[in-house]
Amino acid sequence: MAGGLVLAGLVAHGAWTARRNAPRQASPEQPPREPTLGESALSGFDTDSAPVLGDAPPLGIPGMDKQPPLDALLDAVAPIVLETVVSGDAALLVMPTTRRAGSKPFFVEGLNQVTHEWEPPALGQRYEAFQAGVQLANRTGPLNEIEYSEFVVKAQTFADAVNGTAQFPEMLDEVARARELDQFASEHDAQLSFTLQAHAVAWSPGYVQQNAAHMGFVVGAMPGRMVLPASSVGLPPVLTLSFDPQAALAEDPAQAAVRELTLALDVAQVARSERAFVRMREAARDLAKAMDGVVTDDKGQPLAWDDMDVIGYELETLYDTLDARDLASGSVLARRLFS
């Protein structure tokens, strides 16, 4: 009998230990997903299409930018003078098959004969001039001589096809401008992240999603990713929250253990008016409190709230610098440059 009692005690202790160490589980409710177009942020449960940084948004949707017009601040632009008006249908037939020159976006725009505005060529429209452009810099670096040469070949081929004459800026001047712009971007590219670590008991993916959903996050397109949507549909998310995608893809997610989360902010992609860093601090604090976690930097050192005050002050200076350069955080130009 004594042996039986000891065995029963061991079994009970083992069960209690396993239960104590099991990942925290969500209560029975479904986390919201990124809404489809036309849905509210909390009503869309049948899609997980989150905006991806750097992707061009679709056309004709409220709150979204169509392909932005070429801008001398960010692009090398080659005007194309036409011998006669060209239809959008004809222009689309001879557009380059790829819209990049090396690692840089390549654009063609037409001057609409009716609206007298520059726009991407469209069916049923007529154009009295075109211009081609290539972006001077992005996060892959500055435009180089090889990429500029590829741009010239693509633009000249298009110009020939529409019976136009292209006028190209001097390559060395544009490459120099690209390097200067890239230098500025490198010095002012802020991507911040906090790490939230489980204090004692790990979390299940469902537990993470449920607690984050209470703070406005929705399930994103990639496993282990949630986003805090921007105030306008189609813009990059204000914040992203990510954890091990293998845990999200586990055969039994309830048993998958998540021990840390990454809360991230891509400063240049988000408008200043979104108060992104303030919301980032609040999300980190509230998640840590709700989930029994500790907020650290990317090296695992606990973050003091005073340290965050310093970061917030430095961000305000960064916002002012970007504004002064006509690259306001969250603007079309800033999102293109910092992508």
Q: Using DSSP, how many helices (H) and how many strands (E) does the chain show?
A: 9, 14
What is the CB neighbour count within 10 angstroms for residue 160? 13
Q: How far is the C-alpha of 32 from the C-alpha of 245, rounded, in Å?
A: 18
pLDDT at 232: 93
What is the CB neighbour count within 10 angstroms for residue 255? 12
Q: How far is the C-alpha of 274 from the C-alpha of 327, rounded, in Å?
A: 16
Longest dimension (CA), the chain: 104
pLDDT at position 339 over 60: yes
pLDDT at position 4 over 60: no
8 Å CB contact between 272 and 330: yes
Instruction: Tell the residue number behind the tokens 């800026």, with chain if given.
Output: 169
State how beta strands 141-142 and 137-138 pair: antiparallel
pLDDT at position 63 over 50: no
Question: Which CATH superfamily is 190-337 part of?
Answer: ZipA, C-terminal FtsZ-binding domain (3.30.1400.10)
306: Cα within 13 Å, side-chain hemisphere: 0
Q: Which of 127-136, 141-150, 228-237, 294-303 has the lowest mean pLDDT?
A: 294-303
The pTM for the full model equals 0.80
Instruction: Tell me what percent of the residues of the chain surpass a pLDDT of 90.
Output: 73
What are the backbone dihedrals phi and psi of residue 167, each rounded to the nearest 5 degrees, phi first?
-120, 110
Q: How far is the C-alpha of 210 from the C-alpha of 231, rounded, in Å?
A: 21
Domain 75-186 belongs to what topology?
Cell Division Protein Zipa; Chain: A, (3.30.1400)
pLDDT at 3: 57
CA-nearest of 332, 333, 296, 330 to 315 is 330
pLDDT at 88: 98
pLDDT at 207: 95
CA-nearest of 210, 216, 278 to 34 is 216
**Count of residues for the chain?**
339
Tens digits of per-residue pLDDT, 77-103?
999 999 999 999 999 999 999 999 999
pLDDT at position 45 over 50: no
Strand partners, 134: 76, 106
Tens digits of per-residue pLDDT, 165-201?
999 999 999 999 999 999 999 999 999 999 999 988 9
Q: Mind giving me the DSSP string for 311-339?
A: HHHHHHHHHHHHHHTT--TTSHHHHHHT-
**What is the torsion angle, in degrees rounded to the nearest 10, for the CA atoms of residue 92, residue 98, residue 101 and residue 107?**
30
Report helix, strand or coil for 221: coil
Taking the domains of the chain in order of start, what are their residue ranges?
75-186, 190-337
Q: Which of the two residues, 56 and 121, has the higher pLDDT score?
A: 121
19: exposed, middle or buried (Cβ count in 10 Å: 0-12, 13-18, 19+): exposed
Equal fold, 75-186 vs 190-337: yes
